[in-house]
Amino acid sequence: MKLSIFPYVVQNEIFDNLEISELLLLSFVSKNMKKLIKSSQTSRFKSISQIEYDNSRGYPIRVHIPFVSEFDSPLMEFRERRDYETDDEFFQLKVSGKVLNFQLHYRYSFPQVYFLKDSDRNSAIEAIHYYFLNFFGYTVEYLYRDDYLKIVPHLPKLSLCLKFSTEKVTYWPNQPEAIRDIKKIENFLASSPVLKRIFMDLETPEMFRPESKFYQAESIVLIQNFNTVPAFLRHFQGRQALLYCKTWDILDLIEFMNRWKSGEGSKKMEYLDIRMIANDIHQNEFLNALGVKRIDESKTPPTHTLPKLFNIGFGPNTFPIISRSYVVRETDNRVASVHILGNSFYFGVWNKTEEEFLKMVT
């Protein structure tokens, strides 16, 4: 089919009915074809907020659009070439000045890039990444998810989302073994750019230094087997956090709430989810100690939810907080909903003043 002979409206109809992975593959045909696809699919590409390279599950590196394309049907894969595979089994395309070996997935027909050995992997990723920047644009957020022990690429507009582990445990697949010595991690973080996401199972009473880049990550999922909650809440500078705690103290959360209400700490915090594994929470006593305000029982509170920054659990959004209890920050009159469900504590900050927040109550 010669697409160039069709009127523009017909070309658009064809492109609109292709998967993004098919458009990507088609764009490799020529510069004119790439230009035609980009001009036709401008609004569609603008709707893409993130593209993620995922090498965290032991699969080949899979590139997908989070919560849009299914993980089993990604945009692209990177695979290491097997010794017995011959050149005849691949077709070659020049991408960002580098010749790459391609195959189509046997079932879903998305492109697969093959590299000769592990040392060539990042070179292939680099070529594709620069192509993505030109094709999808610089406004898309590009994420790379992997284990920190592996060699991760450092490329423009590519944010790292790393899992900190030592080795896999056999009784819980894909779950990292807990970190017991943070010195090595501290050194790694010091020499790396600030991470986008961190997943860590921490089994030590020792905590990172206040100036550590650990606390600067935008989102953190942290499993804590000792009570390191106070240090974490005191120094975390990011936007979203999910904590699993085996031990805690109610005074730790009271301190956190008082610092937030006074404007002294957690200024960027949008969402906090603390799963208190081993503790029962006496709800009224706890909320009274936090000094919360309450919405009348006859009214329905608004639902707090945000696009999720940490990639764990189901769905693109944070757990919905529907609570009659809220607190107000003194410095800017911002509101945060406070909710207790079972043995979990939820804290969601609204981008609204108390007056604006109460207008949403029905």
Give 142-185 as a DSSP string. EEEEEETTS-----TTEEEEEEE-S-B-TTSTTPBPPB---HHH
Structure tokens at 34: 């790439």
Residue where the block lists tokens 């009274």? 288
pLDDT digits (tens, 9 = 90+) for 23-81: 999 999 899 999 999 999 999 999 998 999 998 876 789 999 987 654 446 899 999 88
Paired residues of 339 in beta bridges: 346
In this structure, are strands 98-104 and 91-95 parallel, antiparallel, or unpaired?
antiparallel
Look at 129 and 148; give whichever has higher pLDDT: 129
| DSSP H or E run through 100 | strand 98-104
Question: Is-contact 317 305, C-beta < 8 A?
Answer: yes
Mean pLDDT, rounded, for 192-220: 92
Using 50, 70 and 90 to split pLDDT, how confident is the model at 240?
A: very high
Paired residues of 308 in beta bridges: none
Please enumerate in sequence order all residues whose Cβ is within 8 A of that of 361, keeping only pairs 6 or more positions apart, or say none.
Answer: 295, 299, 300, 301, 302
For residue 14, CA distances in Å to 3, 193, 281 come to 9, 42, 57
Question: Is-contact 177 165, C-beta < 8 A?
Answer: yes
Output the pTM of the full model. 0.84
Looking at residue 340, what is its pLDDT? 87
Residue where the block lists tokens 């894969």? 77
Mean pLDDT, rounded, for 73-96: 87
If we measure between CA atoms, which residue out of 309, 314, 52, 278 comes closest to residue 199? 309
Residue where the block lists tokens 């097997």? 82
Among 12-21, 28-37, 278-287, 325-334, whose mean pLDDT is lowest? 278-287
Structure tokens at 353: 């003043």
Domain-by-domain residue ranges, the chain? Answer: 197-361
> How many Å apart are CA 95 and CA 106, to the nearest integer?
22
The DSSP output letter for 342 is T
3-state secondary structure 4-67: HHCCHHHHHHHHHCCCHHHHHHHHCCCHHHHHHHHHHCHHHHHCCCEEEEECCCCCCEEEECCC
Residue 174 has pLDDT above 60, yes or no: no
Mean pLDDT, rounded, for 155-174: 71
Mean pLDDT, rounded, for 128-156: 92
Looking at residue 102, what is its pLDDT? 93
For residue 258, CA distances in Å to 236, 252, 360 come to 15, 10, 25
If we measure between CA atoms, which residue out of 136, 114, 125 comes closest to residue 65? 136
